[in-house]
Amino acid sequence: MVERSHKPGPISATTASSLPQAQVNVSDDNSKVTATIPSGDTVEVLLYGATIISWKSNGTENFWVSDAAKLDGSKPVRGGVPVVFPVFGPPPKNHATSSLPQHGFARNSRWEYLGKSTSESASDDSVKMDFGLYSAGLSEEAKKAWPYDFGLVYSVTLTKGELSTILTVRNEGKEGFDFNVLLHTYLRIKDISTTTISGLLGTSYVDKVLDARESTESNSDLRITGETDRVYKSLAQDTTTVVENGSPRFDVVRKNFRDTVIWNPWTEKAKGMGDFEPKTGWREMLCVEVGSVAEWVRVEEGESWEAGQTIKSLV
């Protein structure tokens, strides 16, 4: 065999291990899980309430968290994405949830970190983290107030420019139960006075500021001009868009959730909340909260139910 003087060298294959890797870290005090993907996007999840307290994409923080928010487990977090379950708002009288605190127990229970899964390629780098809450892990007070056997798995997936959150509710007991669920998302915006919301036109809503009066949205681009607390019911389209200065800022895409709550406390209500700081913070936040809250969701013995959202940062 003749040796070639300029024979090609061996081809070096790019292995998965040589690609940039998603990183997931649990804090030293086991209170928080942080994930970073090769694009530089990050997410932080507090195990207290499985509350997302930060999501950064393209160097920009997308969630608003109060400067006075308690992150030590002493009370629900004001800001980020608290998980509301199994009741929304003050519990109704003569209902299975009537002994529970406002917004239920999920947002002020400690969740378990169940682990991660990753996907790394040139076009799609992402990381998914799972968190669990089970009836056995509740406080004795919560078990007594709501004595059902259940399991919650909350999946948080970080992809470049997107954050997806999916909640699975399993009935692990012998009797069915009803629940509400809401992802109480506080979006960070530049200025509420130049922000509008599209995707709500023609939707029936309950206005909690006006004694639960029911109306139909007549604005294609809703502008917030005062205290706002509305439950938009059974939206016809899956995407709600937050627009800043005429440019889309966020798409909030619902998956199997029926309703969307729009909330901003405005001046006076913000002043009255001890954990809302700065008091002018209402100018830089807007809650667009997907959920199923206008009616009860029911799961029977052995059944499960799943819903979620994807938030897309458009800058």
78 is annotated as contributing to ligand binding: yes
Q: Considering the entire predicted model, what is its pTM?
A: 0.92
Q: Which of 28, 120, 31 is nearest to 73 (CA)?
A: 31
Asked if residue 21 has pLDDT above 60, the reply is: yes
| Confidence at 20, pLDDT banded by 50, 70, 90 | confident
Mean pLDDT in residue range 221-247:
97
Mean pLDDT in residue range 184-192:
98
CA 49, 52, 56: angle at the middle one, nearest 5?
170
- Contact (CB, 8 A) for 134 and 171: no
Q: What is the pLDDT of residue 118?
A: 81
Q: Which of 56, 18, 37 is nearest to 159 (CA)?
A: 37
Structure token digits, residue 65 = 């968290």
Q: What is the pLDDT of residue 194?
A: 98
254 is annotated as contributing to ligand binding: no
Domain definitions of the chain by residue range: 21-313
Asked if residue 238 has pLDDT above 50, the reply is: yes
Residues annotated as catalytic are 184, 289
pLDDT in tens, 247-277: 999 999 999 999 999 999 999 999 999 999 9
Which residue in the block uniquely carries the two structure tokens 């509740």? 138
Assign a CATH topology to domain 21-313. Answer: Beta-galactosidase; Chain A, domain 5 (2.70.98)
pLDDT in tens, 208-221: 999 999 999 999 99
Calpha distance 248→123 (Å, rounded):
24
Asked if residue 226 has pLDDT above 50, the reply is: yes
| Confidence at 121, pLDDT banded by 50, 70, 90 | low
Calpha distance 308→146 (Å, rounded):
24
Paired strand residues for 240: 252
Structure token digits, residue 275 = 């954990």
Q: How many residues are listed for the chain in this entry?
A: 315
How many other CB atoms are there within 10 angstroms of residue 77's CB atom?
A: 24
Structure token digits, residue 164 = 């997806």
298 is annotated as contributing to ligand binding: no
3-17, 227-241, 257-271, 294-308: range with lowest mean pLDDT = 3-17
- Contact (CB, 8 A) for 131 and 112: yes
pLDDT in tens, 75-100: 999 999 999 999 999 999 999 999 99
- Contact (CB, 8 A) for 278 and 67: yes
Positions of E strands within 193-246:
195-198, 204-207, 213-216, 221-223, 228-232, 239-244
State the sign of the Cα–Cα–Cα–Cα dihedral 190, 196, 200, 203.
positive
117-126, 154-163, 264-273, 275-284: range with lowest mean pLDDT = 117-126
- Contact (CB, 8 A) for 228 and 219: no
* 10 vs 64, higher pLDDT: 64
